[in-house]
Structure 1
Amino acid sequence: MKLKSLITIFLFCFSLIFAIDKISYENLTKRDRVLLSISYYEVAKKYKQIGKEQLAKQYFKEAFKIEPYIEKYMSGELSVPQKTIAIDWKSIFSDATSDNEDKTQKEQKIDSNKQENKTIQQKEDKNKQDADKNVTQNKLEKDNKQIIEKMDNIEAIKNNLNDFINTLKDKNVEKSVTFFAQSVFISSASIYITNYELKETIKGWLEKTTDFNPEYSIEIEKIEENKFNAKIIFKNKVDFFISLKENSLLLKFTKYENVFLIDEIYNPVINETQEKQIDKKINSIDKPEDSIKLLVNYLIENEIDKACGLFSNDVWFDEFNVLLPVDRLKEYFTEWKDKNLSVKNVSDVIVEDSLKKYESVNISLLNQWELDLDNFDKIAVEFKNTPVVFGNPNKIIYVFIIEKTKEQVPYQIVAVIQVDKE
């Protein structure tokens, strides 16, 4: 019989054995012992290939225990001993009683080996069943976790929508916009509006709305990880701050830092109030310096609300160590426009070549508060006459701290710092 066939036989007979007693192989011939060791070695390799390192380790251990030089046989450095036939002359001439005794002992040994193999087989089957059970259990646990998480997210979004409608009933404009991202995409018009512009739109709508107490239902659908579509379906026709599609408001929620916010409105639409608030110029901002130019441009054109939309809801003025709501800027912008009616161009306001990135680290906001501003753009500018934001007249360089929104929309000014001219 060829060597490969013999190895196959040994693999079949012993592949399910975790360990083998010394008595099971010490009486084997050298050839049989080597073949047995090879079979263990082959099984170990198979287990290692499929990633069962622990089983592979056990079988390698048994292979070396049976034949310490197994690797040399596997590499061909040593050859498997030839099969020899030893004639037992003594047994030939022994009496029948002795033969029967030997036969009985052999049968008993065979029965014992069969029982041992059966026990090992049962143990291996049980291990496999346990492993399969663990895999199934883990999959069920993972599926259940995903289902629970999805249900929790849907419930959170539903609560947000109910709270949003309640803020409109209460005419609480400030709170109503907290359910929206800093910039909201109007998909039908392919434009973004800022959170501030949205607030002004809702404010104008509520001022002329006397009774808003609608009956409605909510539908929510997951579209991808951390993103959900939501629909508010009003039972009766309502006058809303945005045109409705089939009496429904269609929204997209995205999860930002564990909070779901509305960052897209699907409704096709825009009513007259919104058209005044939305400006396609805001989509032309390619770099943070453009925000400062657009700010000045808005003030020259007396677009005060749009100028406010370039700032975050609250702005830090480092020179005065104060955090101001953007509404306070609106008053200053109005005064600035009244004083600069003759200004027609951005170049009349900003000193030529002064608008650039500020590289110095000597910023009090950094030094006093130990803040890391690496993720923000720092844009320096010098104004020719009256600065477009209030500040200390003795410091002529204004450094705007600008952050790009997560939705990759126009840059938002979050702080203003003043420094001496170098």
Structure 2
Amino acid sequence: MPARCGALLLAACVGLPGPAFAQQALPDAAHLQADARRPLSWRSLSEDEQAVFDLGYRVFNTEWVPANSPAGRIDGLGPLFNAQRCDACHTSRHRGRGPAGDGELPADLVVQLGRMGADGTLVRGTYVYGYVLNTAAVHGYQPEGRATVLYTTQVRTLADGSKVELREPRYGVDDLSGAPLASSTVLMPRIPPGVQGVGLLELVATEELERIAAEERKSGAGVHGRIAWVGEEGQRVPGRFGWQATEPSVASQVSIAFAREMGLSNPLVAAADCGADRRCLEAPSGGSPEVEPALFKALVFFERLHAVPAERPVQDSDAGARLFAAAGCADCHRDTLHAHAPGRAALPIHPYTDLLVHEMGEGLADRDLSGKPAREAWRTAPLWGLNVAYASGQPVRLLHDGRARSVEEAILWHDAEARSSRERFSALDAAQRRALVAWIESL
């Protein structure tokens, strides 16, 4: 497995400031992204900072090429990969779109790999294929395999007699380049989330997350989110990013995407995700590391400072917000958190998440190749920025694998800790459901 330089050593690795990157005074309110075409920062930038931000935007849209190509600083792709540029999956810096229907998975639905431990918990990564099934390869190399999905349908009947059809996916892999996968191998399909606002989430204090977790345990609402603690350079820190809060920082999230999905070594991950593939391990390198520190620094800075899109006004938004709270959605999708920087006043932000992980039921669980569900918890997905996805005119796919084709479908997949909220939503009449959904789509 690739060696990692921990994000807490980021300053030593690449000259980047650590999580306290917002050393300037925080604004009274985070700047919002009014124009979806060109990225803006959530705070004012100096001339030098703007240059780094703009460079990061170019790196985000850079199409990387194989090692030894006459492309200077952007070679080293693969040899095994899923996409050649960040924007191929994070479409226009927003969420991925996922599959339209049955068949081979698109590049923006990446299948992570793991195995079921003896106690039923998930162990990430496999010996032969590493952490991610790489479905593309540079010339002269073979992709690790092909991932597919087959949907079956189930119909949910709501209290007023309305029927909603849900798609239940079953994933498979074939055309493997190496040994067969064991039946205990867990397939973890993941659609990429948007990158807007992630730097603000990185600035939410651990103490605030601990307070929220304690409040949820005491609420009696059946919601008991917990911090997804992860190890980082010998310290225990909250996981914040990824569908299951597996990464503690923007830098660590960027580093594993470069290494595992693009085959690019970088200042935090020293090798691509080759698994046991000897030819991959011995492939020519585009440099050491392949993503130069200056380019890595710029991309992390860009993602940390990327502003959140402004909410879109909708008719009778107050009614939608009230229904959202009354259904219990706000128990986990909290409207307000606070970004902190040393010595600065807290900055209220409105991501509609608690950054905690929750049990969501077997229906959403990843499964091994025998069909057995893994024991997992899911981070409350931030809802801010959804309006941009709906304004794009493209199909919107929700939940971790894009199975939900609408907000209504996504809600109806909620279970376990979220079951009572799902049932309250199902009990609403059609007009109330439309108002609630329209409000969520405006965020």
Short-chain TM bin: under 0.3
Could you tell me the TM-score, scaled by structure 1's length? Answer: 0.24
Task: Indicate the structure with greater helix content.
Answer: 1
TM-score normalised to structure 2 length = 0.23
Q: Which structure is larger by alpha-carbon Rg, 1 or 2?
A: 1
Question: Which protein has greater RCO, CA pairs closer than 8 Å, 6+ apart?
Answer: 2
